[in-house]
Amino acid sequence: MRELLTGNEAIAHAVRLSRVQLIAAYPITPQTPIYEKLSQWESEGKLGGVMVRVESEHTAMATCISASLTGVRVFTASSSQGIALMHEMLHFASGGRVPVVMACVNRALALPWAFGSDQIDTLSQRDTGWIQFYCEDNQEALDTVIQAFKVSERVYLPSMVIIDGFYTSHFMEVVDVPDQKEVDDFLPPPQMPNRFDFDDPAFLCNVVGPKDYFRFRKRTHCDLRSSLKVIKEVDSDFGECFGRRYGVVEGIEIGDAEVVLVTSGALTGTARVVLQRLREKGYKVGLLKIKVFRPFPREEVCKLLEGKRKIGVIDRNVSPGQEGVFCQEIKAALYPLSTRPLLQGYIAGLGGLEVYPEEIEEIFLDLLKRSSFEEEPIWKINL
């Protein structure tokens, strides 16, 4: 059924369709409408699961971890300071190998206070051991939540499904909402071999020595890396069932491109329009969308960018004292290539600042004429 939905509403529909059994969350702008829609359905008897109303995001994640360890499917959502507050428990979730799925609606971190989209709230959690999906639009958000449950419950690692605050969370688009039976056929009930079992008791979260700790961390890393294969398989299965595939990356008009711009999230939609305008004018430009950030798809990125002369990366985030986080990852991925392209980072849209098509066109044209790169990122601010 096709419905006009915001990104937040699309995520709520995906949670309902996934037959989530427990939801624990704390309201925070701009993810609160997810929480409100699920609460509404619970009060109307349409949800099927239970909602636990907690006093903080830290408790929300702790509740999800505990519930997941009993074998039920769980969900939470947060943004900005809320994600920062639950940082401790994010490590517990991945270390405990629980398949929690969390919707993250990107918002700038304080101080100063800001409410607009900024990816640093989720990218600052990139080392917590969570799978991270960055979605371009509302349809992709709905589909990715459903996929994330299947991926997480196969690899026993938690997932973040990430959308841009307001640009995606509050803007309305036509979304194809699948039938419940279709989702049930695609997403079976969770099977948790390490769930609490009174007939087979075991210790949880006990202290280990350095060798065991080393072994556990290596295993988490290796399993997170290998989850890329599972993500591809689940995406392929989803495409067969629903007719929509996303991949871990997407190359647009890359074949003959001399210049490729790397984007993620809602910015990609604007960049697509600019790309087509420039190609109609004869410019050989391409676009690379990063959908999966953790585990980072190094091989796929290298395959698409190898042999290209110039690469630009737009980051809606900055790692203070370094540069944009996506730019860092692209540089690391391309380093093994025998011939590396010229690569330039651009910082844009921090705190929800508008990134207009004209600015993206300026970046493309800057790359086309550039003969060297600057060590510092170029800050694009249109006032």
Which amino acid appears at position 347 of this protein?
I
- Please, which pLDDT band fits residue 195 given cuts at 50, 70 and 90? confident
Average pLDDT of the residues in 41-50: 94
Going by C-beta distance under 8 Å and a sequence separation of 6 or more, which residues neighbour residue 197?
none
Q: What is the pLDDT of residues 273-304, one digit of tens each?
A: 999 999 999 999 999 999 999 999 999 999 99
Is residue 383 over pLDDT 80?
A: no
Average pLDDT of the residues in 9-18: 99
Q: What pLDDT does 201 receive?
A: 80
* Number of neighbouring beta carbons within 10 Å of residue 36: 14
Q: What percent of the chain has pLDDT over 70?
A: 99
Q: What is the pLDDT of residues 210-238, one digit of tens each?
A: 999 999 999 999 999 999 999 999 999 99
Which amino acid appears at position 191 of this protein?
Q
Task: Give the domains, in start order, of the chain with CATH numbers.
Answer: 2-242 (3.40.50.970), 250-380 (3.40.50.920)
* Number of neighbouring beta carbons within 10 Å of residue 106: 31
Q: List b or e across 12-31, with b for residues whose CB sees 16 or more CB atoms inside 10 angstroms.
A: bbbbbbbbbbbbbbbbbbbb
Q: What is the pLDDT of residues 70-115, one digit of tens each?
A: 999 999 999 999 999 999 999 999 999 999 999 999 999 999 999 9
Integer Cα distance of 282 and 279 in angstroms = 5
Burial class (CB in 10 A: 0-12, 13-18, 19+), 83: buried
Q: What pLDDT does 128 receive?
A: 98
Burial class (CB in 10 A: 0-12, 13-18, 19+), 367: buried
Is residue 131 over pLDDT 90?
A: yes
Is residue 203 over pLDDT 70?
A: no
Q: What pLDDT does 282 receive?
A: 97
Q: What pLDDT does 267 receive?
A: 97
Measure Cα distances from 314 to 175, 177, 348, 353, 361 in Å: 27, 31, 7, 13, 12
Which amino acid appears at position 176 of this protein?
D
Going by C-beta distance under 8 Å and a sequence separation of 6 or more, which residues neighbour residue 372?
342
Q: What percent of the chain has pLDDT over 90?
A: 94
63 close to 92: Cβ distance less than 8 angstroms = no
Cis peptide before 30 (omega within 30 of 0): yes
Average pLDDT of the residues in 130-145: 99
Q: What is the pLDDT of residues 369-381, one digit of tens each?
A: 999 999 999 999 8
Q: What is the pLDDT of residues 305-315, one digit of tens each?
A: 999 999 999 99
Q: What pLDDT does 252 receive?
A: 98
Residue count of the chain: 383
- Please, which pLDDT band fits residue 20 given cuts at 50, 70 and 90? very high
Mean pLDDT of the chain: 96
Q: What pLDDT does 196 receive?
A: 82
Q: What pLDDT does 187 receive?
A: 98
Helices 7-17, 32-43: inter-axial angle, 10-degree rounding: 40
Q: What pLDDT does 192 receive?
A: 85
- Please, which pLDDT band fits residue 202 given cuts at 50, 70 and 90? confident
